[in-house]
Structure 1
Amino acid sequence: MPELVLPTTTVRESFLEAMDEFVAEGAQNSQTSAWIDRNAPGWKAPDAFAAFVDAVRADALPGTPRPEGHVPCTTLWWVDGEDYLGRIAIRHELNDFLLDVGGHIGYDVRPTRRREGHASAMLRHALPWALGLGIDRALVTCDDDNVGSIRVIEAAGGVLEDVRGAKRRYWVPTAS
């Protein structure tokens, strides 16, 4: 049964396969595509992948150095045993960019595992994590034409605030 876990090296092979799927799809403008741009193909070495996992986990710590404009972020992986299915990021606070475009929570599911309910389950399981970080209502955004994400967010209780450019902005309660 899939579960949210902190990034781990135990899913390395499946994670790398998933990243190849994102590359083949032409993924861009997401946390996953940024990981690929900065780390592939170097992370194919086990020690480089372990360093990547450590860095992703450290990004949740307030004192971790990060690029200007980045906020602390807890990243969780949706896995089934050793099978990497997707990731969800919970940004601990909102800066101007995140308030306008990115939101508190961003997620993606590996291309070959989409339309199986994973995004809905990930978001549902991530909301208590967000609440534990002090986020009472999470801003979750998606492209205005992304029908799948619209359904996922609305099913989680998301209330549309507005559409800014190509982004729909929803507020989702973190407590049930």
Structure 2
Amino acid sequence: MTALVLPDPRWFPSWAATVADFGEEFMHGSGAWVLDHPVLPTEAACEELVAALAVSALGDPEDDKVPSTYYWITDGSGSGEEVIGFLNLRHELNDWLLEEGGHIGYSVRPARRRQGHATRALALGVRRAGELGIDRVLVTCDSDNLASARTIEAGGGVFEDVRNGKRRYWIVVPAAALRPTT
């Protein structure tokens, strides 16, 4: 079963295989953009990225960066568990995220697509958003990415509109997932 784990160098072998599988394809939700160079599937790169994600997750108001939590998607199979993708949950929206980026960005490695992992990872991300007190989650995808649109719709996404080539969907967080108010 699909699971979300926090980035950690102990996942290096399967993380490296996932990075290699993506090749030149953009790894949505990976946080790779926090580095000033391409992410290579090496132990040093894995350790560097994990450290950079921990700092980036805090956000930086001066650079218009919001706090977020980075996750690695695993297949959740137990002892043979492996990293198969990435998910980034942004705790709030700035102007750009409201227009194009959304609360959640995710991607599953090409070799593990069409197995339901993206749908399950998105559902887990929505639940985690609820734990943060977010009651509606914005999720976007490129207007020509029909597979991602189907994933978002399967996760309860209600289409709002298209802005700058991005389809925008809102998902209401289930009441059971919402953090209790005090």
- Short-chain TM bin: 0.7 to 0.9
Q: What is the identity, as a one-letter code, of the residue corresponding to 1:124?
A: A
Unaligned runs of 5+ in 1: none
Q: 1:27 aligns with which of 18, 21, 25?
A: 25
Residue pair 2:104, 2:138 contacting (<8 A) in 1 also:
yes
Aligned to 2:63, the other structure's residue is in SS state coil
Q: Distance in 1 between matches of 2:159 and 2:91?
A: 21
In terms of mean alpha carbon deviation, does 75-84 or 89-98 score higher? 75-84
How far is 1:127 from its partner? 1.0
Aligned to 1:49: 46
Aligned to 1:14: 14
Task: Map 1:6-155; keep pairs closer than 5 Å.
Answer: 6-23=6-23, 26-28=24-26, 30-32=28-30, 34=33, 38=37, 40-41=39-40, 44-46=42-44, 49-61=46-58, 68-80=63-75, 81-155=80-154
How far is 1:74 from its partner? 0.4
Residue pair 1:11, 1:82 contacting (<8 A) in 2 also:
no
Q: Report the count of equivalent residues.
A: 170
Displaced runs of 4 or more, over 2 A: 28-41, 48-52, 57-62
Q: What is the identity, as a one-letter code, of the residue corresponding to 2:49?
A: F
Percent identity over paired residues: 44
Residue pair 1:60, 1:75 contacting (<8 A) in 2 also:
yes
How far is 1:106 from its partner? 0.4
Across the aligned residues of Structure 1 and Structure 2, the Cα RMSD in angstroms comes to: 2.3
Q: 1:15–1:66: structure 2 CA closer, same or farther, 3 Å change rule?
A: farther
How far is 1:60 from its partner? 3.1
Aligned to 1:86, the other structure's residue is in SS state strand
Q: What is the identity, as a one-letter code, of the residue corresponding to 2:56?
A: D
Q: 1:27–1:170: structure 2 CA closer, same or farther, 3 Å change rule?
A: same
Q: 1:133–1:38: structure 2 CA closer, same or farther, 3 Å change rule?
A: farther
Q: Distance in 1 between matches of 2:114 and 2:62?
A: 34
Unaligned runs of 5+ in 2: 176-182
Q: 1:151–1:37: structure 2 CA closer, same or farther, 3 Å change rule?
A: farther
